[in-house]
Structure 1
Amino acid sequence: MHTFNHKYNLLKIATIILLFTFYLNNYSPKVYGYMLEPNVNQENQQTPKKEEIKPQEEKLDPKEEIKAEIERIYNERNKALVNGDASILKSDFDTSQRQGLWSMEHEVKRIQYFNQWASERNMEFKNIESTVRIKKLNAGSKSAKAFLEETYKFDYVYKGDEAATLNSFGVGIRHTITLKNNGEKWIVYNDWYTDCFEDALQGYTGFIQENQTSMTTDTIEEYIDKSAWKWKHSYNREKAVEYADKYCGAAWGSTNDFKYNKKYRDYNGIGGDCTNFASQVLGDKEAGGLKQDGTWRCPQKLYGHSEGTSAWVNADGLKNYLVYSGKASVIRKGTFKELTAATPNLPSGAISKIQLGDLICYEKKGQIDHFAIVTGFDSKGYPLVNSHTTDRYHVPWDLGWGDKHIKFLLLHVNG
């Protein structure tokens, strides 16, 4: 009995071994081979080549797309300013409607004026470049409207200058621009801004015309209270210029991130900020440090945005205050030609008496319309100015003031 059972068990074991061997021979090699050595050439197992895998294109943020298009348009304008060719602007404006046509015509006038102005001063502009900071944007697929600041940088040399000294100045302009998508690109529907050339465009050849009528120059005695000469004032010209450079706003050259001094109210949009800025340069402790008084002052508020008196913020008010208080004296008043005309004592004209930290007043139709601070001289000694409203940094003093009705008043700050 035991022998039979033993034989039966051996037979059973042998059968199991045979079945296991059969399984290994017929199935396991395929599994083993697939797991460790996959056949990359099997049908339906194709691997795409690396170059066939295209990364998904990143879409620009709408604000960045509009910003790039505006900068493209503005730099096309700059090329036209440099080379005098207005024809390159035609494709950037929607001239099928009046506002687009007016916007383009305005740019053409700027090109004509700017090139004639530069030619008369023997200047050759090498490059003009714009960058844009969008403050507010409403954009769709067909149109976009933006409020923005444009920062210009102008580079020029003097013709015939063997040293080819490069001079640079900056301008900052605030725009409200509407764009239209014509299916191919963005174009200008309208563009409203306070232009640094505005007062020269109606008669853009104004003061450089050969047949211009001479204007009468007022004498110093008509403006000065001579009793004021005994006054002594302390005026720091170096700090005044440093302040004017720091807070010149949206212009290239600003050292305060294109911002005004927050201590003072910004009068842009409500009459302009040029006189307020001139008063700051004269009277802020960080700047020229002239002593403020009951007539000319700007008391500081705890949280900033202080408002000055009429003499502080009004152009005629500041001119009258400075002259009659004795804080400033008139060098001369007249047209561009009169101020640059050679005399026996002043071969370069009255403008050559201007100093750093002095003021230039711009008069239209008998009233002071603008103030600027003298902040430097270029490679040929041409006076340069800073100002607000249309923000300027080291800009040639008469650029943009070509209308025949413009007079200039040169003020020397005493102290």
Structure 2
Amino acid sequence: MKERICKISTSIIILSSFLLLVGLFCYKSNDFFTSKSMAISTIAPVNSDTAEMTKVIEDIYKDRNSMFITKDITNLPKYYDVSQKLGKWSLEHEVKRLSYFNDWSCQRDMNYVKVESTPKVRKITNTQRGLRLLVDEYYKFQYTYKNDANPTTNIFGVGLTHSMDLIKKDGKWIIYSDWYLDCFEDALKAYSGEIKDLKLNDYNKEKYNLQNCPKILPEPKAVTKGKYDKINAVKYADKYCGIPWASGNLKKYNNKYTNYTGIGGNCTNYVSQSMGDKEGGGLEFDGVWHCTYKKYGGADGTSAWVNADAFKQYLTYSGRGKIIGKGTFKELISPMPDYQCGVIQKLDLGDLICYAKGSDIDHFAMVTGFDSHGYPLVNTHTIDRYRVPWDLGWGDKNIKFYLIHVR
């Protein structure tokens, strides 16, 4: 019994000593992280919540979006910390985007009547400066044609994901940096972000003499199993376009499939899904173009299913696709016999547009609609687009387009 009491006493002493050491360690550790003489400092907690930061971003976006219409960018710089290079670059990028959108619409006699975007704050992290936010932004653009007697409002959407740092200056949150993959990046190369005039020019680029060619869509027909159902392909492309207000689908993408965004791009995978999924176009798989389904989702596709260049080669050599036009934007909109709006007028719902930078096949999109003048509209992934005018964002002189009719 004495031996047992002795063992218990010894255990209590050892445990007390251990707890004392832990306490001293925690005390010294706290000393280390809070000592002003140390190189490492704590990140000061910032009191914030998702609702507050959502309101901050909404207010910034609301003012910025109004600038697409007013063309007055006077207020834009006040939302950025231009005392350092990341803030300057972020501001310059927005200036480029506004300038490009203005020029693009003026060249086509289009007029933005309403632009809005909805931010969804997915994550907030404290930083040494302030806050880092992961934000999904869902745009809705509305436009008309200037010379129409009774203008029809056309709508398209774009989805972006931002990683932005915010800091507080004079009691207000402003943008320290804003990083995002921009679907208009290619077209912005020709633009300077320098603010030379607080009012965007109404017109300073070559104007295109686009014709008005409203698309008359045929009545849907029954499609044999295994053949390409274009109407269902478009419905699938809309459902999984990644923009909630347009799709009504909060899942964003179809999780039956691997998402290749960030590992080569998801554009071709998305077009292949729209064409081949049973919920979509239902086009029968073959030995070259197919995907392997898995029990818990994340299906992997063959090279022809996911790679833009391989997909183009497959379509043309298999006979499932036919190139009905190729060239620059100006070449494809040039009037020709029976097609006053150019060869672009030959496109039908469910057809494809392939985008090439020089000889490099870079991107695929599916034709999902036509605006009030018959201008083809497309859906894409990697950067989510819903019924976006087919050439918007592709302004580099080195860009060529392939128009592919799917049989």
Per the alignment, in what secondary structure is the counterpart of residue 74 of structure 2? Answer: helix
Count how many residue pairs are aligned between Structure 1 and Structure 2.
Answer: 334
C-alpha contact 1:374 1:385 (8 A) present in aligned 2: yes
The equivalent residue for 1:105 is 92
- Residue 106 of structure 2: aligned partner: 119
2:157 maps to a residue whose letter is: G
Return 184-193 or 67-76, whichever deviates more: 67-76
1:74 Cα deviation from its structure 2 partner:
2.0
Matched, 1:66 2:59: no
Q: Name the amino acid aligned to 2:308.
A: A
Instruction: Map 1:15-414 onto structure 2 (within 5 A).
Output: 62-139=49-126, 143-203=130-190, 210=206, 234-250=227-243, 252-257=245-250, 259-414=252-407
The secondary structure found in structure 2 opposite 1:86 is coil
8 Å Cα contact 2:107-2:205 kept in structure 1: no
Q: Deviations over 1:219-242 (max 9, x none)?
A: xxxxxxxxxxxxx97110110000
**Structure 1 segments (4+ residues) deviating >6 Å:** none
Q: Which runs of 5+ in 1 are unaligned?
A: 1-59, 213-231
C-alpha RMSD over aligned residues: 2.1
Distance 1:382 1:322, change over 3 A: same
C-alpha distance in structure 2 between counterparts of 1:248 and 1:81, whole Å: 24
Contact 2:107–2:206 (CA<8 Å) still a contact in 1?
no
The 3 A distance-change label for structure 1 pair 196 and 306 is same
Q: CA deviation at 1:196?
A: 2.1
Q: 1:161 to 1:211 in 2, by over 3 A?
A: closer
CA distance in 1 between partners of 2:244 and 2:332 (Å): 27
State the Cα deviation string for residues 181-200 of structure 1 (Å, max 9, x = none). 11321111111111121110
Residue pair 2:243, 2:386 contacting (<8 A) in 1 also: no
> Are the aligned partners of 1:204 and 1:402 in contact in 2 as well (CA < 8 Å)?
no
Please, what TM-score do these two structures have when normalized by structure 2? 0.78
Partner Cα separation in structure 2 for residue 237 and residue 129 of structure 1: 30
Q: Contact conserved, 2:124 with 2:132, CA < 8 A, in 1? A: yes
What is the CA–CA distance in structure 2 between the aligned matches of 1:279 and 1:354, rounded to whole Å?
Answer: 18
Say if 2:81 and 2:176, in contact at 8 Å, map to a contact too. Answer: yes
Which runs of 5 or more structure 2 residues have no equivalent in the other structure? 1-46, 193-203, 209-224
Cα distance in 1 for partners of 2:156, 2:177 equals 27
Partner residue of 1:220? Answer: none
Is the Cα contact below 8 Å between 1:171 and 1:251 reproduced in 2?
Answer: no
> What amino acid maps onto 2:130 in structure 1?
S
SS at match of 1:202: helix
Deviations 1:325-370 (A, max 9, x none): 1110001110000000011232110000000000001111211111
Deviations 1:57-89 (A, max 9, x none): xxx961111111112222222112222222220
Deviations 1:263-321 (A, max 9, x none): 00111111211111011011111111111112111111000011111111111011111
Structure 2 CA distance for aligned equivalents of residues 359 and 283 of structure 1? 14
The residue type equivalent to 1:363 in the other structure is A
